[in-house]
Amino acid sequence: MAYQRLIIDGYSLIHRDPETKRIVADNLRRAREVLVEKISRTATAMAQQVTVVFDGQQSGASSPGGIQAIEIIYSSSGQTADTVIERLVHQATHPSGWLVVTNDRRERETVLAAGVQTMSCAVFLEECQRMARQQTQSMARNALRQPGPKLGDFFPKEPR
């Protein structure tokens, strides 16, 4: 299903993904970048607008690696990512087309009460992997359908 908006609790997802979980202890910034790069293709296929919300201030809040399709939001001082997510949800005119990804049970209950769909981080990561496999298989099938050049294509045709 294509959602109108997908909102992801960034640190919740970072700590659930094995790859970023290993990186986060040594380099938090790099873990955020890897996470956004990892989910960018499939997340943007799932929703028209994708937002990842992280706890804490970050100067120059922008998409890591120049990924413009994903909006990155950092909570301001004294706020949590949950607070930002709840504010976004409560400002929505049509929240039924939204999906929030988090492992925080209370957060999921709060946004569900507002009419937003929710998904756990584990299920979201599985969905991203499934979609990535489908994209790879589709590209491989398309490559098989389109024949490559033949030896004769490289030689000029002689007039008859």
pLDDT digits (tens, 9 = 90+) for 148-157: 777 777 777 7
What confidence score (pLDDT) does residue 159 get? 75
Mean pLDDT for 72-92 is 93
CATH number of the 3-154 domain: 3.40.50
Eight-class DSSP state of 53: E
% of the chain exceeding 90 in pLDDT: 57
% of the chain exceeding 70 in pLDDT: 88
Q: How is 56-122 classified by DSSP, letter by letter?
A: S--TT---GGG-TTEEEEEPPTT--HHHHHHHHHHH-S-GGGEEEE-S-HHHHHHHHHTT-EEE-HH
Q: Is the pLDDT of residue 63 over 60?
A: no
143 pLDDT tier (thresholds 50, 70, 90): low
73 pLDDT tier (thresholds 50, 70, 90): very high
62 pLDDT tier (thresholds 50, 70, 90): very low
Mean pLDDT for 49-54 is 95
